[in-house]
């Protein structure tokens, strides 16, 4: 783990460590994904089943999840988990319904303008789940689409290696959201199937949801042919904390992200050197007893960073460079700290608001911008499932009033025929 201090290390050098890196995807991964996309496009369901047996589970025998499978899934999870899924669903729904936009119009004497907001007709969402179940991702990707009014939501998720089926908790979450088109397809082949459609899988207009490197690369290659939400990268957390923070809380929060993968990025920026020392000790203690301690240790060794800043302003300046997926403000006055924050996916304030409660149950979406993209993008939300069309209607008099402006700009840009469409209607007025 790197331990840095703005007193001894140049702040610009620290910024270089934190700032987004340009990753040119390896040609090997790019070529593998390109071939998968091509094979799925020409081979359809048969190819997808073959790839599923190769990459996900040898026990995979079918692609489409049946109603019977979904019915049985309720008997395969605990009542506590079912109640948790229902509670999380309600919280996520209540949060996202505030995001819904309405169409609007304004009427003047000779002009009407406005904007029509319509849902995208068909959206596919990818829910990772080959190694572990992620019912929360099913909820996070389905509910904004439901609120937006998407006519058809299609879900893909990889089959579990041991069973050849999608984990029952994910099927329950899908049923609770009334998702009926569910397919046992993972990886790049899932993105290709949704983009092109097959005999079984409906062709969609947009694909959303997080995934591994191959999913992200498939989304990159197919962007433009089909709509894409964002390219998800490694999980990230940054904690800004002062002497009021509890070191065991901060260490636990770092571990919660480090257990995702070896490339997870976990950063603490504190104004208190003594706290930094205590956090390091807590990390050692908590890692020893962690279920995924090997993964956590590798993550912290390669991407863990603790920075001691001179003051809160400096800490926030560094945080804004990192633009973290998850940002925790564990300071004496977190609402004051918030005023200094410019870039973050989701921001959690106070000592009792850890990332997992937000990611799983509280309401905000956990499909978030990573790799510094919080500088210009947002969490997955209702806006990702809608499209907007501008509306304009002139009377003849209204057109005449604005005609010269349109004609002048069209001619300045060398578009004579453009200008003529106005002139022919106004007789040159």
Domain map (residue ranges) of the chain:
27-228, 234-375, 395-426
CATH 3.40.50.1980 is right for the domain spanning 234-375: yes
Tens-place pLDDT, residues 162-219: 999 999 999 999 999 999 999 999 999 999 999 999 999 999 999 999 988 899 999 9
Burial 24-45 (b: 16+ CB within 10 A, else e): eeeeeeeebbeebbebbeeebb
User: pLDDT at residue 134 above 60?
Assistant: yes
Give the model's pLDDT for residue 233.
81
Work out the pLDDT band at 26, boundaries 50, 70, 90.
low
User: pLDDT at residue 262 above 90?
Assistant: no
Give the model's pLDDT for residue 361.
85
Structure tokens at 237: 């957390």
User: pLDDT at residue 88 above 80?
Assistant: yes
193 CB-contact burial (10 Å; exposed 0-12 / middle 13-18 / buried 19+)? buried
152-156, strands of its sheet edge to edge: 181-183, 152-156, 122-126, 206-208, 227-228
Work out the pLDDT band at 131, boundaries 50, 70, 90.
confident
User: pLDDT at residue 275 above 90?
Assistant: yes
Tens-place pLDDT, residues 209-257: 998 889 999 999 999 999 999 888 888 999 999 999 999 999 999 999 9
* Three-state helix/strand/coil letters over the chain: CEEEECCCCCHHHHHHHHCCCCCCCCHHHHHHHHHHHHHHHHHHHHHHHHHHHHHCCCCCCCCECCHHHHHHHHHHCCHHHHHHHHHHHHHHHHHHHHHCCCCEEEECCCEEEEEEEEECCEEEEECCCCCCCCHHHHHHHHHHHHHHCCCEEEEECCCCCCCCCCCHHHHHHHHHCCCCEEECCCHHHHHHHHHHCCCCCCCCCEEECCCCHHHHHHHHHHECCEEECCCCCCCEEEEEECCCCCHHHHHHHHHHHHCCCCCCEEEEEECCHHHHHHHHHHHHHHHHCCCCHHHHHHHHHHHEEEEECCCHHHHHHHHHHHCCCEEEEECCCHHHHHCCCCCCCEEEECCCCCHHHHHHHHCCCCCCCCCCHHHCCCCCCHHHHEEEEEEEEECHHHHHHHHHHHHHHHHHCCCHHHHHHHHHHHCCC
Taking each helix axis from N to C end, the angle separating 293-303 and 247-258, rounded to the nearest 10 degrees, works out to 100
Active-site positions? 325-326
Give the model's pLDDT for residue 130.
72
In whole angstroms, give the CA distance from residue 247 to residue 88. 29
Give the model's pLDDT for residue 266.
94
Tens-place pLDDT, residues 402-416: 999 999 999 999 999
145: Cβ–Cβ under 8 A, 6 or more apart, which residues? 119, 123, 125, 153, 208, 385
pLDDT > 70 in the chain, percent:
98
Burial 401-429 (b: 16+ CB within 10 A, else e): bebeebbeebeeeeeeeebeebbeebeee
CATH 3.40.50.1980 is right for the domain spanning 27-228: yes
Tens-place pLDDT, residues 368-405: 999 999 999 999 999 999 999 999 999 999 999 999 99
Bigger pLDDT: 412 vs 264: 412
The number of angstroms, rounded, from the C-alpha of 278 to the middle of its chain's C-alpha atoms is: 33
Work out the pLDDT band at 428, boundaries 50, 70, 90.
low
Tens-place pLDDT, residues 93-129: 999 999 999 999 999 999 999 999 999 999 999 999 8
User: pLDDT at residue 24 above 80?
Assistant: no
Tens-place pLDDT, residues 302-315: 999 999 999 999 99
pTM over 0.75: yes
Give the model's pLDDT for residue 166.
96
Tens-place pLDDT, residues 328-367: 999 999 999 999 999 999 999 999 999 998 889 899 999 9
| Contact predicate 364/345, CB 8 Å | no
Among 18-27, 64-73, 286-295, 384-393, the minimum mean pLDDT is found in 18-27
């Amino acid at each position: 783990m790197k331990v840095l201090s703005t007193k001894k290390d140049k702040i610009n050098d620290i910024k270089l460590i934190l700032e987004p890196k340009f990753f040119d995807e390896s040609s090997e991964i790019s070529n593998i994904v390109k071939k998968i996309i091509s094979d799925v496009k020409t081979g359809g369901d048969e190819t997808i089943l073959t790839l599923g047996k190769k990459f996900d589970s040898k026990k995979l025998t079918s692609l489409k999840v049946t109603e019977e499978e979904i019915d049985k899934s309720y008997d395969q999870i605990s009542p506590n988990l079912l109640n948790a899924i229902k509670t999380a669903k309600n919280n996520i729904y209540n949060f996202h319904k505030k995001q819904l936009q309405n169409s609007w119009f304004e009427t003047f004497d000779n002009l009407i303008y406005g904007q029509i907001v319509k849902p995208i007709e068909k959206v596919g969402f990818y829910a990772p789940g080959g190694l572990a179940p992620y019912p929360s991702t099913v909820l996070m990707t389905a509910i904004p689409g439901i609120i937006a009014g998407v006519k058809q939501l299609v879900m893909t998720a990889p089959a579990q290696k041991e069973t050849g089926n999608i984990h029952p908790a994910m099927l329950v979450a899908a049923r609770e959201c009334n998702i009926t088109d569910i397919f046992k397809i993972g990886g790049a082949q899932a993105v290709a199937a949704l983009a092109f459609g097959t005999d079984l899988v409906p062709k969609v207009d947009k694909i959303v949801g997080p995934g591994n490197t191959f999913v992200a690369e498939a989304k990159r290659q197919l962007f433009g042919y089909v709509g894409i939400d964002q390219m998800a990268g490694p999980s990230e957390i940054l904690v800004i904390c002062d002497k009021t923070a509890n070191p065991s809380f901060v260490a636990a929060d770092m571990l919660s992200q480090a257990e995702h993968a070896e490339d997870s990025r976990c950063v603490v920026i504190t104004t208190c050197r003594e706290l930094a020392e205590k956090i390091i000790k807590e990390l050692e203690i908590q890692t020893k007893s962690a279920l995924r301690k090997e993964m956590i240790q590798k993550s912290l060794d390669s991407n863990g960073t603790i920075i001691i800043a001179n003051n809160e302003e400096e800490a926030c300046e560094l945080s804004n460079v990192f633009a973290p997926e998850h940002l925790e403000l564990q300071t004496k006055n977190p609402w004051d700290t918030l005023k200094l924050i410019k870039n973050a996916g989701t921001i959690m304030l106070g000592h009792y608001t850890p990332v997992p409660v937000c990611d799983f149950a509280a309401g905000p979406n956990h499909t978030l911008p990573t790799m510094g993209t919080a500088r210009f993008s947002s969490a997955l939300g209702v806006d990702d499932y809608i499209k907007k069309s501008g509306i304009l209607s002139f009377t003849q008099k209204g057109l005449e009033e604005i005609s010269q402006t349109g004609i002048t700009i069209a001619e300045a840009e060398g578009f004579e025929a453009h200008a003529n469409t106005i002139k022919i209607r106004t007789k040159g007025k």
